[in-house]
Amino acid sequence: MKVVRRLAAAAALTPLLVALAPAAPPAAAAAHRHVPAALVPLPAPAPLVPFDPAAGPDQGRWHPAGRLVDGHPAVYETILTVPGTGQPAGFAWMDPRLLRAQLYSGSGSPGGYGWKLTAPISPGAARTLVAAFNGGFKFPYTEGGYYAEGKLAYPLRPGGASLVIYRNGDATVGAWGRDVNWSSQVIAVRQNLTLLVDGGHAVGGLDPYDKSVWGATLGGIPNVWRSGIGVTSDGALVYVYGPDLEITQLAALLVRARTVRAMTLDMNPYWTVFVTYKPPPGAPASPANGSSLLPGTIQGPTTFFEPWWNRDFFTMSAR
């Protein structure tokens, strides 16, 4: 369903920003699998197969990034050159057994003030921060909803692609009402369009020339900076982004990353960013010890520590 067809209806949705205690109807309440209490990491991710057999030896090989958690790497990064563009795409694999997810809200997106978790990242949160990355489209262009801190800023849409965070810090990606549902353990839901990858495959009907269904592109061209996130069969989160991507290429990257369900996040060069932080032992994360996964993005290690940053974003912190 095209974004442009929903603008009039979506624009009429004023953020409610009222307290909400969602009750899960018995039919909609889905059991959530909790990770073990002990910090036992997942096995390190297997290398990704390059699109070009003649690619350099570093293509697709994962390297630890960011601070260690209980002595273990919690984030791994790699790159793959995208066919047809010659540009590198960045991949970040995140271990849910070692990391706790949080959704930070902004006055610009989803809108409103009074959020407890908002930029800049506080000194206390910086002490365990491992990684941070961009959220989804600015409302109302998401065709979906937003729930955080007990507030429903925009109604959640059945079938909408959703990044859901649970009370214990777990996070996953799925279609709302099918893979993920209301429960007393849900503390945040960020929706953005519909799933881009489902069942380990790109969804049908993707158009490489699309400039509106999967987001309004900068300059009216299909190939722009794009980002997405998915979940693997063992529960790891994988963030992917890169320049000069059309929507079928982003889907192909998420499939290559072995995600079973994935969704698109924000797009265009000003909004896409993934940063890891590796401070000295015992020190807090800061812009000085941050590193962007890909060079060339406008945002970087300082972004989430700036009070002027008014968009939603995610953090991954040591458990």
In this model, does residue 70 exceed pLDDT 50? yes
7 in a domain, yes or no? no
Task: Report the alpha-carbon angle 54-55-57, nearest 5.
Answer: 110
pLDDT of residue 252: 97
pLDDT value of position 53: 83
Indicate if the pLDDT at residue 82 is higher than 60.
yes
The reply to whether 297 falls in a domain is yes
| 21, part of any domain | no
Identify whether 6 is part of a domain. Answer: no
In a domain, 304, yes or no: yes
Q: Does an H or E element contain 31, and which?
A: none
Instruction: Identify the domain containing residue 176 by its residue range.
Output: 62-318
208 lies in some domain: yes
Position 296 scores a pLDDT of 83
Q: What angle do CA 146, 148, 149 make, to 5 degrees?
A: 155
Q: Does residue 38 belong to any structural domain of this protein? A: no
**pLDDT digits 0-9 by tens, 138-161:** 998 899 999 999 999 999 999 999
| Cα–Cα distances in angstroms (integers) from residue 41 to residues 73, 97, 115, 170, in the given order | 8, 6, 32, 14
Position 218 confidence tier, pLDDT thresholds 50, 70, 90: confident
The predicted-structure confidence for 174-191, as pLDDT tens digits, reads as follows 999 999 999 999 999 999
The number of folded domains in the chain is: 1
Q: How confident is the model at residue 37 (pLDDT cuts 50, 70, 90)?
A: low
Is the pLDDT confidence value at 36 over 60?
Answer: no
At 279, which helix (H) or strand (E)?
none
pTM of the full structure: 0.88
Residue 291 lies in a domain: yes
Stretch among 29-43, 112-126, 179-193, 256-270 having the lowest mean pLDDT: 29-43
Lowest mean pLDDT among 45-54, 124-133, 148-157, 222-231: 45-54
- With 80 as the cut, is the pLDDT of residue 4 above it? no
Secondary structure (3-state) at 60: coil
Contact 147, 111 (CB under 8 A): no
pLDDT for 5 beyond 90: no
pLDDT higher than 90, residue 8: no
Q: What is the pLDDT of residue 85?
A: 87
